[in-house]
Amino acid sequence: MELLNALLKLTALERLPRAGWLLAGQAVAEPVAAHGLGTCLVVLALGPAVEPAIDLDRAVSLAALHDAPEALLTDLPKVASQLLPPGAKRQAEELAARELLAPLSAAALARWREFHAGETREARFVRLCDKLQMGVRALAYAQSGARGLGEFRASIEELEADEFEPCARLRDQLVAALDAD
């Protein structure tokens, strides 16, 4: 039943809010699970245009898993991560990933670790997609009336995306759209 227990714990991703939006004043924040799925969709949108080609489907798996440990750790906003001692969050994530993903499958844990190690092209690509999903979400908030999201715009603008041209293009479109809004 270890597998079922892990799946039950992972349902918390549906209820846990992405904390950055709460700190920025939004009354109802995107759940972590929606960010996870949204990152998969950004991967599926940009991945096929990456050159040289990447393993698109493996990249989707990395995206689906990348925040799974938050079902135990919750989503720490950027400011919180900065106040913790260096490496503290990373260590906690590794422990949480082991507890939650090892009972699913060795492949699940391996793909999560690939994402966090950031050594494969797929992992680096998904890390950009993770940030770009935040930009898409910020733009959607802004277009429906939200304000006070300047720090999110700034994070998007600062993204280094030279390795993946489709990411650089979406970054630029997001910044332009946020500015036009």
Q: Which of residues 41-70 bind a copy of itself (CB under 8 A)?
A: 41-42, 44-49, 55-58, 60-61, 63-65, 68
Smallest distance, a copy of itself to C-beta of residue 74, A: 5
Facing residues of 17 across strands?
A: 31
Give the C-alpha separation, 5 to 10, whole Å: 9
* Near a copy of itself by CB under 8 A: residue from 77, 120, 124, 157: 77
Chain positions 25 to 44 lying near a copy of itself, rule: CB under 8 A, are 25-31, 33-34, 36-38, 40-42, 44
Residue 165 within binding range of a copy of itself, rule CB under 8 A? no
| Per-residue tokens: 40 | 């998969």
73 versus 124: smaller Cβ distance to a copy of itself: 73
24 versus 123: smaller Cβ distance to a copy of itself: 24
* Near a copy of itself by CB under 8 A: residue from 119, 147, 154, 158: 147
Q: Could you count the other beta carbons within 10 Å of the beta carbon of residue 142?
A: 18
105 versus 163: smaller Cβ distance to a copy of itself: 105
Chain positions 100 to 139 lying near a copy of itself, rule: CB under 8 A, are 103-108, 111, 136-137, 139
Count of residues in contact with a copy of itself, rule CB under 8 A? 91
